[in-house]
Structures are given as structure tokens and as C-alpha cells.
Amino acid sequence: MHDTYALYIREMLIFKKNIRTSIGRSLIFPLVLILLLGNLGSTIRNLPAAVVNYDNGVASINFMNALESSGEISITSITNQHTALQMLANGDVAFVLVIPPGFSAASASKPNLVVYIDSSSPIASASAIAALEQTAQSFGAKLATQNIASRTGNSQAQPPSAASGALQANNAPSFSMYTNYTYGASESYKDFLIAGIVIMVTAFGSMWSGGISLLTDRQFGNLKTFLVTPINRMSILFSKMASGITQSMISGFIALGVGILDGGIVAGGAMGWIWIIVFMFLSAFGFSGIATILGARINKIEVFSLIGMAITMPMWFLSGAFLPTSTLPNFMQPFSIYNPMTYAVDAVRDVMLKGFISAANLLFYSTILIVFGAVMAVLSYIAFKQTMG
């Protein structure tokens, strides 16, 4: 314990000395992502859309005008639904809105609007859905209630059709806007992204701190100076993991802070923060394990970086940090299911966007991450024993 503490202090002093580069290295990439991508949704202008208006009444014209005046959507009127869908298939438009006959009739229940949307570009479709929803809300109040009911039901609501490139027909009551549940409660892609990025920074931070320092300590001979003292050798491993976790959580919190300054929210309140810390810790723990396994086995920093990247990049991409996992092509779906990072991202996203995690999900997510962490810890113990013991 004493020796682990002494080595931990050493790691943290080195971290403090290099604080700018250490934190900068793990933050620069994600920050650019949050600031660029996160704000991209709101800067999309003139998203091309086709409207097939079978109604042609006053209300339908008003609806189209309202949609267009949002500034985000540029409407082309098409008389033939088939042609419009062809345009969508060709990628000429981002979505097709079909206004059914009778929409303008002064009846209490309007017929449903039908939206066909290409979900392959989440940024574009998110912004289209936001505009559609906003406009629709001013025409039909039912939409709002519909949204909330759906939200609480399923955190990972699928878009109506996940088949790649396929078109979707939405026939839900009122409007077909439940497509936007792909992005949870907050309609902003930014909030969606922040949760993913916080976990990514935390996981990546542990990759680059504990593991690399184990490697360089061996390379430069510092490790030998520790091994000739009467310490328990395992304290070296423990100190690397502990300092890696601390450092990556610091980076994770900075990423979260930046996300919040940039307009992100933590809907879960105080309890939400606790869950965020717990899931950040669990991710950091597992990835510190991976990092120390690599650090114990690999002798070249270049090889470490390469393998580290080869492990973390796909895990990150497949975790839904960037895009909803449901938008991944079918053959990738299993990879995201077996990816522990998916569950850390889901958990933090639930807390940040939905405001809570159901007890069942909490148990599910945390069990997976604890098992992941435990397996990595055992493997790194074995790797360390083999090469250093």
C-alpha cells in the first residue's frame, strides 16, 4: 500500500509537470469534435426536401411555408410521390414529406403526415426532424405528449427502419416524428455527442497515461530502479492503473465541462453527476487494464500507439459515441453489442439526455462494465507477472 502510494505520487507529479501536454493530448481531438460537429447541426441551411402535397388546402400551404421559413429546409414541391421517393433514393433530398388529403379540413383529428427520411446522415436528419417537429408542434399539440411517452419507453428507440439506405414510412398517430427519438430526449446532436465524447476522453486518457508510462519506465530503466527496492512488484502495476484512472477522469471532467459550457445539459441533476462519475470510473478502470497489458508486453512506443489506436478507435466508433448504434450497418451491430464502451456511453447519455437510468439498465450497464474491468485487471496482472515478475 505504502509503495503503491509512493509510486502513485510520482506518477501524479510527472502528470502535474506535464499537465498541459497530458491533458491537451487527450482533449484536443474530442474538443474539436464537440465544437465543430456539435454545432454543425444548427448551421445546416437549406436542407433539400421534397413535399408531396395531396391536400393543397390553406393549412397545408401554411405548413409548408412555416417549414421553409425555419431557414433550414429548402422545399421542392413534387406532385408524384413515386418521383419524390426516387429523389430520396438518389440522395437528392434529405426527406420526403407527404401531406395527405384532408389535412386542411377543419376536423378535430387531422390525418397523419408521412415522412420518409434518409437516416444515413444523422446530422442532416436530426436537423430536418427538429425543423419538422417544431413546425408540426405549432400545427398539432399531440406531438409533444407523444414524444415524452416514447422517450421514457425506450432509450435506444430505433428509427422506424434501420436498413441501410432504405426509405421509411411512418404512420404513427398525429405525426411521424418519432424518428427523432433516435437522439433521445434532447433534440440536439450536441448533447448526444457530448456524452459519447466524455466517455471517449476518459477511456483514451487511460490508454495514454498508465500504459505508456509503464513502457517508458522499462525502456529508460526507471523500472529497474524500482525493482531493486524491496517493494511488492505489483505495486508498480497498481500505481500505474490508479494514476491512469485519475488522470483520465480529470480529462473526462474537463471534456464534460467544455461540453456544458458549449450548451450541453446534465438532465439527471445531482444524482446524474454521481452516475456519470461512476461510469467514467468504470470505463477508465477497464481501459487502464488494457493499457497496462499493452505496456507490459510492448517495447516500442510506436507499436503501442498503433495497437492502442487499433483497439480504441473501432471501440469508440462502434460504441455509438458519434452516431446512434442503430444507424450502424447490420454486420457491425454485433460488434457494438459486444463492445463494453457502448454501455458506458449509453449510461452517460441516459443520464445526460433522459435524466435518469432505469434500475434494470443501471444493473445491466454496470455489470457489463464491472466484468469488463475485472477481466482486464486480471489479464494485466497476468501480463505484468509474466514480463516483470
Partner 1 sequence: MSEYAIEVYDLVKKFNDLTAVDGITLKISKGEIFGLLGPNGAGKSTTINILLHLLEPTSGKALVGGYDIVKHSREVKKLIGLVPQETVVEPELTAEANLRLFGRLYELPEDEIERKISELLKLAELSEFRYKLAGTFSGGMQRRLAVVKALIHDPSILILDEPTVGLDVQNRTALWNLLKKINRERGVTILLTTQYLEEADMLCNRIAIIDHGKIKALGTPAQLKQSISKGFIIEIFAEQKYTKDIIALIKRKFRLESSVSGDRITVNVSEDPVDFLGKVSSELEKEKLPIVSISMHMPTLDDVFLKITGSSIRDTANNEVVSPTMRLRGR
By C-beta, is 147 or 387 nearer to partner 1? Answer: 387
Phi, psi of 293 (to 5 degrees): -60, -50
How big is the site for partner 1, counted in residues (CB under 8 A)? 22
Helix 359-388 / helix 234-261 crossing angle, nearest 10 deg = 140
299 phi, psi to nearest 5 deg? -105, -10
How far is residue 280's CA from residue 250's CA, in Å, rounded to a whole number?
10
Exposure of 138 in the CB half-sphere (CA atoms within 13 A)? 14
- Residue 299 found at the interface with partner 1 (CB under 8 A): no
Near partner 1 by CB under 8 A: residue from 178, 226, 285, 316 = 226
Please give the C-alpha separations between residue 364 and each of 320, 347, 361, in angstroms, as whole numbers.
17, 10, 5
Single out the segment in contact with partner 1 by CB under 8 A; choices: 5-13, 115-123, 249-257, 278-286: 5-13
- Tell me how far, at minimum, the Cβ of 221 lies from partner 1, in Å: 4
Q: Which stretch binds partner 1 (CB under 8 A): 117-125, 174-182, 221-229, 359-367?
A: 221-229
Residue 209 CB, nearest approach to partner 1 (Å): 14
Smallest gap, in angstroms, from Cβ of residue 220 to partner 1? 6
Secondary structure string (H, E, C) spanning 261-303? HCCCCCCCHHHHHHHHHHHHHHHHHHHHHHHHHHHHHCCCHHH
**Which residue in 7, 27, 131, 278 binds partner 1 (CB under 8 A)?**
7
Which one of residues 80, 229, 261, 331 is an interface residue with partner 1 (CB under 8 A)?
Answer: 229
Residue 385 interacting with partner 1 (CB under 8 A): no
Residue with cell 508486453: 297
| Residue 61 makes contact with partner 1 by CB under 8 A | no
Asked if residue 230 binds partner 1 (CB under 8 A), the reply is yes
Q: CA torsion angle for 196, 200, 203, 204 (degrees, to 10)?
A: 180
Candidates 167, 231, 277, 332; binder of partner 1 (CB under 8 A) is 231
Tell me the closest approach of the beta carbon of residue 227 to partner 1, in angstroms: 6
CA proximity to 375, closest of 265, 264, 290, 256: 290
Report the residue from 77, 105, 224, 374 that binds partner 1 according to the rule CB under 8 A: 224
> Which of 105, 101, 170 has the alpha carbon at shortest distance from 132?
170
**Using rule CB under 8 A, residue 20 touches partner 1:** no
Question: Which position has the grid cell 529497474?
Answer: 224
Secondary structure percentages of the chain, helix, strand, coil, to 5: 70, 5, 25
Q: How far is CA 157 from the centre of its chain?
A: 15
Query: Does position 172 bind partner 1 by CB under 8 A?
Result: no
Q: Minimum distance between the CB of residue 291 and partner 1, rounded to whole angstroms? A: 19
Q: Which of residues 29, 220, 273, 338 is near partner 1 by CB under 8 A? A: 220
Out of 109, 225, 367, 386, the only residue in the binding site for partner 1 (CB under 8 A) is 225
- Smallest separation (angstroms) from partner 1 to the CB of 6: 4
- Chain residues in the site for partner 1 (CB under 8 A): 2-3, 5-7, 9-10, 13-14, 17-18, 220-222, 224-231
